[in-house]
Amino acid sequence: MVLETLLMSSSVLLVILAVCVVLYYKWCFTYWKRKNVFTLPPSIPFGNAKENFYRQVSFAHSIIRLYRIIKSKGLQYGGYYMLWKPIFIPVDPNLIKLILNKDFDHFTNTVNYSNEKTDPLSGNLFFLKGDKWRLIRSKLSSTFTSGKNKSMLNTMVKCTEHMPNILDRANEQGEAIEVKEFYARFTTDLIGACALGVNCSALLDENSPYRDHGRRIFDIRPNQTIKSLLYMAMPNVLKFFNVSINRKDVESFFLNTAKEIVEYRKKNNIVNKDFISLLMSMMNKEISVEIKTGRSKNPDGERIFYSQNGLTQNEIGCQAFVFFQAGFEMASTCLTFLTYELCLNQDVQDKLRNEIVDVLDKYNGEITYEAINEMTYLDQCVYEALRKHPPFIPIHRECTKTYKVPDTDLVIEKGTPVFISAWAIQHDPEHYPDPERFNPERFSKENKAKRNPYTFLSFGEGPRFCIGMRFGLLEVKVGIASILPKYKFSISPKMQVPIEYDPNEFTLTAKGGIWLNVDKI
């Protein structure tokens, strides 16, 4: 009888708990309705994210689909539910401009989960919040000036020397190459040399430790996908239980590598004009910066002084990690899809090749900083590839201060995530007619002037735009300029056309890879 009583009591408690959970969900799912914001009907327990949790569709593609529905209704914004958590989805470029730039002081943080104690790599520039982000961002900006990029040009060009070995072998053997892997090996060598001052040897050895761990960064396991979705809905819970997002083997490799580089440079008194040296200059001493805020009644702006203790060894390691991660992945993704589009549009490939050859002839066949800047059609092709295939699809911000959307009654509450789909905006026929056509002329000086600049967001915008944008563009241009005059690329029967994006990848990736034939000119 005692056992029966306990079982009955437990069953009653479970029923009560289940009813409470259902009622809580139903109340949460009225959030956007109470604010008169359109959203698709959510369901318990996933909200609008059921397909994301089952890895059928990426979160980014869910936002793309919602964007199109919101636009079809003539609305400026809509809502989304990740589990019970409401997410704000703006689609109007003018509203996006306010969020990313003009009213940035209301949206200073990203939604990224950061727990430096348990997950040191999460303490990087992209994930940092508040004053610490402002300070580190301001200090690191000096690494990415035009002058610094120009000084690294020769190192970049040197990293292209082994690219012909792979292309010639493919040509001689009549084999297709998977260009994402080919370009990832190149950009791994480049970012290792320019940022860390190390020889990664990825083009010479496909199993180079740096390339191997670069693959592991983006080898997204099912549990990592779930954790990435959960941190949007319950970051404090994950932090309480000390959940780690990054893989421990990746963490160990990059933190130890950075430590070895720092110790070697200290011991041998080596000071280079690169990323790791700048980080070392901020080690073990107070760092400070005076920053002008975005909005103030004072026309000169309000100036705030920030300071903190110097960077620790682990903090140096995680900044080096994220620069390595973003530096090789963004550039290799852009190079991959640019080359793919050149294969589908052979007239564009021929025109681009002719421009590169003509410009290099003026510089005795040498790739110089001035030569790259003269290749205007190359610049247009790169931007068009980034428009069609933005490497990192969603841009996200967290509302850090209650915000009233201008000319509406809507108030976005503090803590609300905001997601902006660069892919959806850049495929919107209102902004780019016939958006699936690869047309570099969209980025001529005249055509760019006709468009709202917030209709191109592959690098983000505002104070948190991609700090390495110019460096990344230079990577891509050097890579293409070094091989296109000597090789012609075409689609291999081995690959699927049109491509289908893989929903389980963090960055934009084609299912089955991009396989191309290579012919020597």
Q: Report the binding-site residues for heme.
A: 466
| Residues 327 and 475: beta-carbon distance below 8 Å | yes
Query: Would you state the structure tokens that stand for residue 125, as one six-digit string?
Result: 């520039």
Beta-bridge partner residues of 265: none
Beta-bridge partner residues of 404: 411
Neighbours of 236 (CB within 10 A): 9
Residue ranges of the binding site: 466
How far is 164 from 518, CA to CA, in rounded Å?
A: 11
| Residues 327 and 191: beta-carbon distance below 8 Å | yes
Beta-bridge partner residues of 39: 79
346-362 vs 313-344: helix axis angle to the nearest 10?
Answer: 120
How far is 243 from 237, CA to CA, in rounded Å?
A: 9
Query: Would you state the structure tokens that stand for residue 181, as one six-digit string?
Result: 């892997």
Query: Would you state the structure tokens that stand for residue 106, as one six-digit string?
Result: 């209301």
**Which value, in Å, is the radius of gyration of the alpha carbons in the chain?**
25
Torsion angles phi and psi, residue 273, rounded to 5: -90, 65
How far is 254 from 317, CA to CA, in rounded Å?
A: 6
Per the document, the length of the chain is: 521
| Residues 484 and 390: beta-carbon distance below 8 Å | no
Cα pseudo-dihedral 50, 52, 57, 58, rounded to 10: 150
| Residues 411 and 404: beta-carbon distance below 8 Å | yes
Determine what percent of the chain falls in helix, strand and coil, rounding each to the nearest 5: 55, 10, 35
For residue 182, give the DSSP letter: H
Planar angle of CA 220, 257, 327, nearest 5 degrees: 55
Nearest to 520 by CA among 165, 158, 157: 165
Q: Which residues contact 139 (CB under 8 A, 6 or more apart)?
A: 278, 282, 287, 289
Region for 309 from its dihedrals, namely left if φ exceeds 0, alpha if ψ lies in -120 to 50, beta otherwise: beta
| Residues 3 and 9: beta-carbon distance below 8 Å | no
